[in-house]
Amino acid sequence: MKITGIELRRIAMPLRAPFRTSFGVETARDILLLRVVTPEAEGWGECVAMSDPLYNSEYVDGAVDVLKRFFIPALPERVDALSVKRALKPFKGHKMAKAALETGVLDAQLRTAGQSFGSFLGASRDRVPCGVSVGIMDSIPQLLESVGEFVDEGYVRIKLKIEPGWDLAPVRAVRERFGDDLLLQVDANAAYTLADARQLAKLDAFDLLLIEQPLADDDLVQHAQLAKQMRTPICLDESIESVEDAAAAITLGSASIINIKPGRVGGYLEAKAIHDLCVAHGVPVWCGGMLETGLGRAANVALAALPGFILPGDTSASRRYYATDITTPFELADGHLDVPTGPGLGIDPIVDILDSVTTSSEWIKF
Ligand code: NPQ
Ligand code: MG
């Protein structure tokens, strides 16, 4: 495949409600989209980096810079997704920027071949059960109202964002209101230390599916120690940036479940490799979310349809975050989203909507 050019497009997407985590409050999503143009097709890659380096070290301006300065110039004359992955391997870090470029090329490649993301990745289902991530609130009544709305919409699993001072009380309140059958888990986004082990172990009373990323990103050894001090399964998110990280976490006993986000690990090829490793080790995985538009969501839903994704993901409907998506919105049916079946992502941006949220655009001619 020869690339004619790549458009770097920056969009601003207002969130329907502020989303608060242990690292901050977001009211709008600042997103970089890559449009990879070939003579045969156009492929889309959504970069999941935030505008500020709060979730991990990446940020949108940094992604734009490393793509323009290093990644795009390093592409070979003829490309496919695998050759992009190989060409970017010498560069350290910047997994979210790498993932966006690899995904844009993969989408163009699959659209040309007439194959869907789901088929390419090895999906074994045509729809996926969906969970939802619920932000930190100002009060317990507010939280219960929000969780109640999501339960009514059909979400099959609830994830509560937690931080020191907002952990036991919200979990207890949600369990009391919605009962023991509700699938419930928590995500700390690295807000605790091993000194909090006794407090975290109190969560064991609430029969949670898992606790996600309680400790710092680079604390694999301490996660293994924490795992011995609580019964709730530990799931890693931020700590896992590669198949090697996943292997280390499994060997050390740092995680018994892994959250796979293609952006965080450098793309869908690496995400698939982590899935395969986890299946081989009997480690359940699930698909995380980064408040993607319909473009990123389409690929995530395809990934979440692989056989090892045995827990519901954060693959929520478009309206969880956005009043207006840039694609036909993903809508929940019976707690599930359908896996797109068309070539590539199987979904296209709606040009007028995309234009209306675009804040800047740059064309890089090959
Ligand atoms: C997580 N996502 O699993 C992340 C973190 C996260 C759905 O909980 C703007 C952009 C705000 C990306 C807030 C969910 C965000 C963001 C949280 C990602 O850890
Ligand atoms: Mg997380």
The one-letter amino acid code at 2 reads K
Q: Whose CA is nearest to atom 5 of ligand 1?
A: 290
The residue nearest atom 6 of ligand 1, judged by CA position, is 290
Q: Could you tell me if residue 19 is inside a domain?
A: yes
What is the structure's pLDDT at 153? Answer: 98
Q: Do 168 and 203 meet the contact criterion of CB atoms below 8 Å apart?
A: yes
pLDDT category at 12 given cuts 50, 70, 90 is very high
- Identify the nearest ligand to the CA of 60 by its number: 1
Is residue 69 in some structural domain?
Answer: yes
- From CA 30, how far away is CA 26, in angstroms rounded? 10
- Do residue 167 and residue 122 come from a single domain? yes
Same domain for 129 and 73 = no
Cα–Cα distances in angstroms (integers) from residue 139 to residues 19, 135, 143, 170, 254, in the given order: 14, 11, 6, 9, 32
Answer whether 19 contacts ligand 1 (Cβ < 6 A): yes
Q: What band does 232 get if pLDDT is binned at 50, 70 and 90?
A: very high
Same domain as 236, residue 274: yes
Please tell me if the CB atom of residue 239 comes closer than 6 angstroms to any atom of ligand 1: no
Q: Give the span between the Cα atoms of 163 and 169, in whole angstroms.
A: 11
Taking phi first (over 0 means left), then psi (-120 to 50 degrees means alpha), and beta for anything else, what does residue 317 get? Answer: beta
Q: Is residue 286 lining ligand 1, measured as CB closer than 6 Å? A: no
User: Do 310 and 358 share a domain, yes or no?
Assistant: no
d(CA 249, CA 260) in angstroms, rounded, equals: 13
Atom of ligand 1 lying closest to residue 261 CA: 3
Asked if the structure places residue 295 within a domain, the reply is yes
Does one domain contain both 100 and 160?
no
188 and 273 fall within a common domain: yes
List the catalytic residues: 161, 261
Per DSSP, 326 falls in state S
In degrees, rounded to 5, the angle at the alpha carbon of residue 346 between the alpha carbons of residues 342 and 348 is 135
Same domain, 298 and 259: yes
With bands split at pLDDT 50, 70 and 90, how would you rate the model's confidence at 230? very high
Strand pairing category for 131-134 and 257-260:
unpaired
Cα(285) to ligand 2 centroid in Å equals: 13
Q: What is the DSSP letter of 158?
A: E
CA of 226 to the centre of ligand 1 (A): 23
Q: What pLDDT was estimated at residue 303?
A: 99
- CB of residue 21 inside a 6 A radius of ligand 1: yes
Are 54 and 173 part of one and the same domain?
no
Cα-to-chain-centroid distance, residue 11: 18
Q: Does 138 lie in the same domain as 55?
A: no
Would you say the CB of residue 56 lies under 6 angstroms from ligand 1? Answer: no
Nearest CA to ligand 1 atom 12: 290
Question: pLDDT-derived band of residue 79, with 50, 70 and 90 as boundaries?
Answer: very high
Domain range for 151: 118-338
pLDDT 10s digits, 262-283: 999 999 999 999 999 999 999 9
Q: What is the CA radius of gyration of the chain?
A: 20
3 state SS of 46: strand
Quote the ligand 1 centre to 326 CA distance (angstroms): 19
Q: Ligand 1 within 6 A of 46 CB?
A: no
| pLDDT tens profile 250-266 | 999 999 999 999 999 99
**Predicted TM-score (pTM) of this structure:** 0.98
- Determine whether the shortest distance from the Cβ of 26 to ligand 1 is under 6 A: yes
**Distance from C-alpha of 364 to C-alpha of 87, rounded to nearest angstrom:** 18
Same domain, 144 and 69: no
Give the rounded percent of residues in the chain with a pLDDT score beyond 90: 100
Residue 89 included in any domain = yes
CATH number at 65 reads 3.30.390.10
Q: Is residue 345 part of a domain?
A: no
Whether residue 70 lies inside any domain: the answer is yes
- HEC readout, 259-299: EECHHHHCCHHHHHHHHHHHHHCCCCEEECCCCCCHHHHHH
Distance in angstroms (rounded) separating the CA atoms of residues 243 and 231: 26
Maximum Cα interatomic distance, the chain, rounded to a whole number of Å: 60
- Evaluate whether 194 touches 226 at the Cβ level (below 8 Å): yes
- Report CA(314)–ligand 1 centroid distance (Å): 10
Q: Which residue among 11, 15, 21, 58 is best mutated to probe the pocket of ligand 1, counting the most ligand atoms within 8 A of its Cβ?
A: 21
pLDDT in tens, 341-365: 999 999 999 999 999 999 999 999 9
If asked whether residues 131 and 109 sit together in one domain, one would say no
Question: pLDDT-derived band of residue 222, with 50, 70 and 90 as boundaries?
Answer: very high
Average pLDDT, the chain: 98
Q: What is the pLDDT of residue 60?
A: 98
**DSSP string covering 196-244:** GHHHHHGGGGG--S-EE--S-TT-HHHHHHHHTT-SSPEEESTT--SHH
Task: Indicate the top mutation candidate among 19, 48, 211 to test ligand 1's pocket, ranked by most ligand atoms within 8 A of CB.
Answer: 19
| Dihedral over alpha carbons 14, 333, 99, 53 (to 10 degrees) | 40
> CA 100 to CA 254: how far, in whole Å?
28
Domain assignment of residue 343, yes or no? no
Q: What is the CATH number of the domain that holds 272?
A: 3.20.20.120
> Count of alpha carbons within 13 Å of 123, Cβ hemisphere only?
23
Rounded CA-CA distance 182/174 in Å is: 9
On whether residue 17 sits in a domain, the answer given is: yes
Total domains, the chain: 2
Q: Which atom of ligand 1 is nearest to the CA of 135?
A: 8
Is the minimum distance from the CB of 314 to ligand 1 under 6 angstroms? yes
Given the CA of residue 24, which atom of ligand 1 is nearest to it? 13
Neighbours of 130 (CB within 10 A): 28
| Pair 250, 127 in one domain | yes
Q: In the predicted model, what is the mean pLDDT of residues 126-140?
A: 98
Q: pLDDT per residue over 322-346, tens digit each?
A: 999 999 999 999 999 999 999 999 9
pLDDT tens, 96-124?
999 999 999 999 999 999 999 999 999 99
**Angle (nearest 5°) at CA 188 between 183 and 194:** 115
